[in-house]
Amino acid sequence: MASARIQCPLGTALAFSAVLLGVACRADVIASPLPTVSAEQRAAQSFLHCVEAGTSGCVVSGASHVGWDALHLILWMAGGSPTGLLAALPSQLAAHQDPRRAQKAFVAEIERYASAVRGAECAPDGSQPLAQVIDRAASLAGKRLERLGMWRTDLAAVVESLREQAHQELDGGHLVRFSCTFDPYRAYVITRTQDADTTVVGMTTILAPAFGGDMPRRKNVLERLRSESLGLSRAAAPVLDGVVDPWMPFALEEL
């Protein structure tokens, strides 16, 4: 990206005045010191700046979030816990049928991390086209579910539907990766491009290495586990009266 700067012996303020008045000064185009970032990275960064300032108001009303919801479901099947999939996949697929729910989920995710993102010093450090991510995720999800003995159902048809839907909505969009100095340390922002407009339609703070994600360092993982956004620091350990120890939660007289 390059920007024009007017060079004029009258100084900058006078130079702008001169331009406005139509006075001819020597105009040179020189290289800007600003970093070159892609359109999707600019959109993603603007979005995070907006989140820092005002949380869920940054979610564009009327934008379609079902594409990200579809891809997010495929990514979950490709890398989520089998226990979680067995417990919640049916309800999550049913919820996916409601487009409003996809937007609500996105808003909830933004609200969860809004205070953390504020001051986290996040900067984009890469992006990848979503079309490739979608196909890789669908392929890995299929192989994985087969390995886990879950592919014998009609999940194949479901994954294919989700893949098609994700392509339909997100082809041309990007997954922009952010590294942050503080919690949440990583953020992955999903952009959608339609009619030359780039909007942000999704965000997550975790992504499997197969899709370009990684885990933060040791102390950062611990900090994340204790973060307000995950709510675990507020979850009190159950009170166990009369037991030996939290590690041995049975009656003392049995020891």
Partner 1 sequence: MLGALLMAALAAGAPARSFGDDRGVDRGVARMPGFEAVLLAHLKHGIGTEVLPTGPGAAIQPGMFVTIGLDGVQAYDRDLVRLQNGRVLDEVGADECARLCPASLFDAFQAEWLAAAIEGTQRSVEIPIHVLFAAHGQLPAFTLLDVIYAAATSRPTRPPELSLVTSSPGSGLRETRFFVLPPRGLELGQGSAALGLTVQFSRGRYRVRAEDSSFAGAGRVQNLTMLRARLREVKKRFPNKQTVILIPEEGVTVSDLVETISAVRADFPRIVLSAGQDVVLP
Determine the interface stretch with partner 1 among 38-46, 51-59, 68-76, 189-197 (rule: CB under 8 A): 68-76
Determine the interface stretch with partner 1 among 1-9, 92-100, 120-128, 188-196 (rule: CB under 8 A): 92-100
Nearest alpha carbon to residue 134 among 174, 100, 102, 106 = 174
Residue 106: Cβ-neighbour burial (10 angstroms; 0-12, 13-18, 19+): buried
Cα-only R_g, the chain: 24
Site for partner 1 in 134-193 (CB under 8 A): 144, 147-150, 152-155, 157-158, 160-162, 164-165, 168
C-alpha to C-alpha distance for 151 and 145, rounded to whole angstroms = 5
Q: What does the longest C-alpha to C-alpha distance in the chain come to? A: 95
Residue 142 C-beta: closest distance to partner 1, Å: 13
Instruction: Report the relative pairing of strands 174-180 and 27-30 from DSSP bridges.
Output: unpaired
Of 82 and 129, nearer to partner 1 (C-beta) is: 82
Give me the count of residues in the chain.
Answer: 255
32 forms part of the interface with partner 1 (CB under 8 A): no
107 forms part of the interface with partner 1 (CB under 8 A): no
210 forms part of the interface with partner 1 (CB under 8 A): no
Under a CB-based contact definition with an 8 Å cutoff, are residues 203 and 184 in contact? no
90 forms part of the interface with partner 1 (CB under 8 A): yes
Of 125 and 164, nearer to partner 1 (C-beta) is: 164
The residue behind tokens 């991390």 is 113
Question: Strands of 197-204's sheet, edge to edge?
Answer: 122-129, 174-180, 186-194, 197-204
14 forms part of the interface with partner 1 (CB under 8 A): no
203 forms part of the interface with partner 1 (CB under 8 A): no
Helix axes 66-79, 82-96, angle to 10 degrees: 160
Of 57 and 84, nearer to partner 1 (C-beta) is: 84
252 forms part of the interface with partner 1 (CB under 8 A): yes
- Interface residue list for partner 1 (CB under 8 A): 66, 70, 72, 76, 80-84, 86-94, 96-99, 105, 109, 112, 144, 147-150, 152-155, 157-158, 160-162, 164-165, 168, 204-206, 215, 218, 221-222, 224-226, 229-232, 235, 237-238, 244-250, 252-255
